[in-house]
């Protein structure tokens, strides 16, 4: 390529100078032979013609090669492919990955869709799953509130921001330590947690396989992983007093037994389901789960980044730079936790490693629960999750969310403390280097670092993984330009990109 570029650049003036109309002699009258003396005027002219043809040929060949390289950087040698990637934003190493198969939805999933969108299943009669998980907002909240309102009169504030429901189809059940399926004797979460204690936690480095098995919890649904399956999860919001607020399972079953559903339930699950409240509720939740699994809009993989991975779209210079910083283990290192590469088994990246981390996000003083200074949402160790509350080494840990469609959100982190990506980025960049810009000061003027976790658990907070490995006063990992570019890249993770 560079040879070509050089040879394209140099001969241009030669072509201009030897343009036939300006330099070549006028056509000779018929019958008259030109003087053939070697070194004579005609000899020089034909030599010039040959040189001209060779140069023209070279230029055309180079132009064709350059055109080909621009169109198919992946077919070029690495160095050329990368040069083209830098210039045009085309992916020099496109990959193939498997999207979930798209098939017509089953009758059960269609029932699930109806239930998902039905406000009459709530105590207020005004709220459905879709109120907080809006299809036109990547199944996340449709407004910029930190938490949503719900309850019997739609006046009670929620505890946490609703996550996007996209890309949960591959979420593993909650576990701690190495793959529990390998163990001979089944272990409880508490046993697993105790076994994991004292084991050096592996540092998370973008692009590198972890050096040790994960000793932090992984998998599960909700910010603290307390639900294991979409089916079990769905009953949570239906009976949560600040959400759909049914007072108990009986109240849910009564609503499911409305005339409009009776026939369908009977047909799909057999008439016995109408006389067994537990079974009815369980089948209804199964239907809601099937909807989230079968409807392709929950895992469309239609972002610009997906198409770029496949070599079907080009990133802008800002997006490309942002991607590189995102993957750079010494800079943003986002991919250390928000995995950005196609998995070894050919599945598209989920932008989460499904693990739990304590990032020390600042307290959101606007939350109703936080009016009580003694209240702390500590994620995995409670208070909403209760089973591993004794495992205090996990206090403050929350599930790493997917960053797919994150740029469509208006409330970030488990407490919704930030409302735009710029503030999220400032948190990652400045938490250690300039904590005074992230946390408030107390009455005496002291910066309240990690103000949303009791002091005794603050050692759980991640200070090992970049960009959190910087010290106070050091240069931050990212410049303002870097941050703008990473945000530009994050926007390429929104579904619904149209490829030409």
The least CB distance from residue 82 to ligand HEC, in Å, is: 23
290 binds ligand HEC (CB under 6 A): no
238 binds ligand HEC (CB under 6 A): yes
134 binds ligand HEC (CB under 6 A): no
The least CB distance from residue 330 to ligand HEC, in Å, is: 12
384 binds ligand HEC (CB under 6 A): yes
The residue from 176, 214, 222, 281 that contacts ligand HEC (CB under 6 A) is 222
Asked if 380 and 394 touch (Cβ cutoff 8 Å), the reply is: yes
Distance of CA 192 to the CA centre of its chain: 29
- Segment near ligand HEC (CB under 6 A); pick from 33-41, 237-245, 275-283, 431-439: 237-245
462 binds ligand HEC (CB under 6 A): yes
158 binds ligand HEC (CB under 6 A): yes
400 binds ligand HEC (CB under 6 A): yes
Nearer to ligand HEC, 148 or 460 (CB): 148
Q: Which of residues 416-455 bind ligand HEC (CB under 6 A)?
A: 424, 428
- Segment near ligand HEC (CB under 6 A); pick from 236-244, 314-322, 430-438, 441-449: 236-244
The residue from 174, 308, 412, 457 that contacts ligand HEC (CB under 6 A) is 412
361 binds ligand HEC (CB under 6 A): yes
- Segment near ligand HEC (CB under 6 A); pick from 86-94, 185-193, 327-335, 368-376: 327-335
The least CB distance from residue 198 to ligand HEC, in Å, is: 20
Q: What phi-psi label fits residue 7: left (phi over 0), alpha (psi between -120 and 50 degrees) or beta?
A: alpha
163 binds ligand HEC (CB under 6 A): yes
* 305, 129, 387, 152: CA torsion to nearest 10: 150
The residue from 283, 306, 357, 426 that contacts ligand HEC (CB under 6 A) is 357
- Segment near ligand HEC (CB under 6 A); pick from 100-108, 131-139, 183-191, 271-279: 131-139
288 binds ligand HEC (CB under 6 A): yes
299 binds ligand HEC (CB under 6 A): no
Tokens of 416: 């919704």
In DSSP terms, which residues pair with 221 in a beta bridge? 227
The residue from 133, 137, 255, 304 that contacts ligand HEC (CB under 6 A) is 133
Nearer to ligand HEC, 108 or 403 (CB): 403
Q: Which of residues 54-113 bind ligand HEC (CB under 6 A)?
A: none
Rg (CA), the chain: 31
150 binds ligand HEC (CB under 6 A): yes
160 binds ligand HEC (CB under 6 A): yes
The residue from 18, 91, 124, 127 that contacts ligand HEC (CB under 6 A) is 127
Nearer to ligand HEC, 222 or 261 (CB): 222
- Segment near ligand HEC (CB under 6 A); pick from 35-43, 90-98, 124-132, 310-318: 124-132
Buried b or exposed e, range 431-440, using 16+ CB within 10 angstroms:
bbbbbeebbe
The least CB distance from residue 206 to ligand HEC, in Å, is: 8
The least CB distance from residue 279 to ligand HEC, in Å, is: 18
Q: Which of residues 470-489 bind ligand HEC (CB under 6 A)?
A: 486
The least CB distance from residue 129 to ligand HEC, in Å, is: 3
Contact pattern for ligand HEC over residues 241 through 260, marking x by CB under 6 A:
--xx----------------
359 binds ligand HEC (CB under 6 A): yes
Q: Which of residues 199-218 bind ligand HEC (CB under 6 A)?
A: 204
Tokens of 379: 């994620």
Give which of 468, 460, 370, 371 is closest to 414, Cα–Cα: 370
Nearer to ligand HEC, 4 or 304 (CB): 304
What's the Cα-to-Cα distance from 375 to each of 86, 157, 320, 369, rounded to whole Å? 50, 15, 42, 7
Asked if 216 and 355 touch (Cβ cutoff 8 Å), the reply is: yes
337 binds ligand HEC (CB under 6 A): yes
- 143: exposed, middle or buried (Cβ count in 10 Å: 0-12, 13-18, 19+): exposed
Instruction: List interacting residues with ligand HEC (CB under 6 A).
Output: 116, 127, 129, 131-133, 148, 150, 158, 160, 162-163, 165, 168, 204, 221-223, 230, 233-234, 237-238, 243-244, 288, 332-334, 336-338, 357, 359, 361, 384, 398, 400-401, 403, 406, 409, 412-414, 424, 428, 462, 465, 467, 486
């Amino acid at each position: 390529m560079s040879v070509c570029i050089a040879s394209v650049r140099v001969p241009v003036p030669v072509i201009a100078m030897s343009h036939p109309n300006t330099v070549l002699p006028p056509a000779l009258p018929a019958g008259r032979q030109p003087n053939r003396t070697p070194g004579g005027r005609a000899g020089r002219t034909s030599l010039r013609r040959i040189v001209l043809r060779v140069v023209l040929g070279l230029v055309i060949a180079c132009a064709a090669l350059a055109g080909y390289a621009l169109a198919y950087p992946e077919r070029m040698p690495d160095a050329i492919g990368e040069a083209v990637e830098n210039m045009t934003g085309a992916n020099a190493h496109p990959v193939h990955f498997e999207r979930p198969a798209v098939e017509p939805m089953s009758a059960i999933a269609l029932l699930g869709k109806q239930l998902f969108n039905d406000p009459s299943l709530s105590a207020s009669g005004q709220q459905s799953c879709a109120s907080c998980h809006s299809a036109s907002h990547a199944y996340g909240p449709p407004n910029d509130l930190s938490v949503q309102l719900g309850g019997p009169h739609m006046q009670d504030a929620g505890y946490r921001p609703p996550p996007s429901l996209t890309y949960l189809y591959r979420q593993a059940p909650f576990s701690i330590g190495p793959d529990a399926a390998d163990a001979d004797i089944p272990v409880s979460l508490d046993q697993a947690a105790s076994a994991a204690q004292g084991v050096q936690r592996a540092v998370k480095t973008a692009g590198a396989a972890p050096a040790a098995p994960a000793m932090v919890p992984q998998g599960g649904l909700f910010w603290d992983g307390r639900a294991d399956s979409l089916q079990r999860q769905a009953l949570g919001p239906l009976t949560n007093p600040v959400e759909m607020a049914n007072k108990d399972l009986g109240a849910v079953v009564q609503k499911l037994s409305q005339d409009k559903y009776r026939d369908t339930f009977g047909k799909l699950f057999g008439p016995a389901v109408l006389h067994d409240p537990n079974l009815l509720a369980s089948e209804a939740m199964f239907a809601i789960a099937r909807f989230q699994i079968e409807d392709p809009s929950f895992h469309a993989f239609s972002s610009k980044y997906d198409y770029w991975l496949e070599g079907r779209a080009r990133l802008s210079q800002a997006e490309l730079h942002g991607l590189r910083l995102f993957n750079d283990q010494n800079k943003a290192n986002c991919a250390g936790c928000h995995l950005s590469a196609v998995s070894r088994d050919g599945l598209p990246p989920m932008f989460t490693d499904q693990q739990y981390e304590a990032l020390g996000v600042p307290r959101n003083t606007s939350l109703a629960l936080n009016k009580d200074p003694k209240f702390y949402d500590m994620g995995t160790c409670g208070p909403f999750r209760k089973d591993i509350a004794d495992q205090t080494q996990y206090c403050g840990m929350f599930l790493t969310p997917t960053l797919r469609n994150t740029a469509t959100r208006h409330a970030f982190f488990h407490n919704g403390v930030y409302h735009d990506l710029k503030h999220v980025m400032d948190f990652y960049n400045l938490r250690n280097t300039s904590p005074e810009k992230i946390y408030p000061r107390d009455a005496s003027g002291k910066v309240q670092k990690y103000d949303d976790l009791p002091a005794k658990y603050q050692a759980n907070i991640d200070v090992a993984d970049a960009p959190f490995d910087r010290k106070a006063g050091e240069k931050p990992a990212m410049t303002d330009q870097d941050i703008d570019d990473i945000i530009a890249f994050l926007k390429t993770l929104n579904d619904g990109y149209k490829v030409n």
